[in-house]
Amino acid sequence: MKCDETWPRCANCVTVGRRCVFPLSADPDLLSTPMRPDENLVGSSGATTPNADTSSGSSSGRSPAVISAPDLTHLTIGDNISGQLESDVAINMVHMKLLIHFSLRMAIPELDEHLIELGTRLTVKTGAEVPYLLHEALSLSARHLSMTVSEKSSEYLNLAVQLQNRAILLFNSEKVRVDETTCVPMILFSSILGRHLCMDALAFRIPDLGPFLDCYVNFVRVHRGVKVIVNRSWPLLKDSELCPLVAWGMGLGRLRSRGNDCDGILRLLDSYEDISPDCLEACHRAIEFVQIAVDDLQVRMFTRGKHLYQIVFSWSLLVPEAFSEMLVQRKPVAIAILAHYAALLHLARDQWQIGDSGAYLLNVISKYLGSEWDEWLAWPRSIVLSEDMEVDIPLRPSIPV
């Protein structure tokens, strides 16, 4: 059951007898400006993802950008929310530690070093004036510490969830409209949040595929809402401090595959009869980006895995919406293609945000599809099982440290 995001404690959480993780306990010192009583907050219970808007020019009359609050209950552990720190001074000191620890590398590890330094500086400087951006930066920092400080893993993980929910709450409450003054913080916030949401979805650990797909599709829905914000802001960035970062990330959608690693599933797909032309095209496009990522490994000494990591984190946005709908409908052919994405995750497992998620995902997909789909899963199994002959995934609500 999701938190229904009402103050001071939601009815759903009261009903099931758990501590509510959505609102921060009316803490006025949480490095943010207080919300006005008349602000209409939009969350997961009532928000809808806006349609993509890629138009440029004035934002006059355009509706404010809105992000649906993600369901992150699979990440929270117990009742010890953010360590239950006892004083405002202790809380502020924790946040200062998170701020010092923050680096844009946590969100975009494939960035060139000078761009990481530029982006980190710009995020901290802009976040000092924009609370929703600062909260998301602190949330990502806490997420990283949950992986690196084992004795406080659960405390940092709960704090990361708390801060992320607060960041989205602040963003929606400000009813931000895209213009020259808001585009930089909106792009930084959306980019960091999009990567953060991806790693949260990949952290899901349940022995059945169904709950994972529910979690993943929810992430895709929210992530597409984030993409709307990026599209709206794009035309205003060419003269901003963010321009070098924007230029670095352009062109991914125009890449074309060269290798033959996915030829096997393409042949099976083209001979598959129970599929509409639109869905067939969506599946082809999803496989195309898997192959592009694998191609990147062949030239990794030149690209440092840039396209592999970009596609791992952005695959949900690169593939057509029709493919995501096939996952919602539990279409076996789409799930078999998702197994190829699991192979990409495994190839990128050196990144802390990804870890063993590829092996986990392939494991639950194999159990779900059964032996009749073995031929479809041959390539991803060759990638994952060639190095990990026994896949032993700890089924925990958080990413294992």
- Residue 214 token pair: 């529910």
Which of the 8 DSSP states describes residue 35? P
More confident residue, 264 or 306: 264
Closest-CA residue to 178 (of 331, 59, 9): 59
Q: CA–CA separation, 265 vs 374, rounded Å? A: 11
Flag whether pLDDT at 384 surpasses 90.
yes
Identify the residue whose tokens are 């991803």.
380
The half-sphere exposure of 338 on its side-chain side, counting CA atoms within 13 A, is: 29
Annotated domain spans of the chain: 31-247, 252-384
| Chain segment 231-277, per-residue pLDDT in tens | 777 778 777 888 888 878 776 777 788 899 999 999 999 999 999 99
Identify the residue whose tokens are 């530029």.
118
89-93, 145-149, 314-318: segment of lowest average pLDDT = 89-93
| Chain segment 318-369, per-residue pLDDT in tens | 999 999 999 999 999 999 999 999 999 999 998 999 999 999 999 999 999 9
Could you tell me if 192 and 102 are in contact, meaning their C-beta atoms sit under 8 angstroms apart? no
The model carries a pTM of: 0.74
Q: What pLDDT does residue 225 have?
A: 77
pLDDT bucket at 63, cuts 50 / 70 / 90: low
The half-sphere exposure of 204 on its side-chain side, counting CA atoms within 13 A, is: 23
Q: What are phi and psi of 274, to 5 degrees?
A: -85, 65
DSSP, collapsed to helix, strand or coil, labels residue 226 as: helix
Closest-CA residue to 235 (of 7, 15, 56): 56
Q: What pLDDT does residue 92 have?
A: 79
Could you tell me if 365 and 339 are in contact, meaning their C-beta atoms sit under 8 angstroms apart? yes
Q: What pLDDT does residue 41 have?
A: 20
Q: What are phi and psi of 16, to 5 degrees?
A: -90, 0
Interhelix angle 332-347/277-298, rounded to 10 degrees, is: 10
- Residue 31 token pair: 């490095």
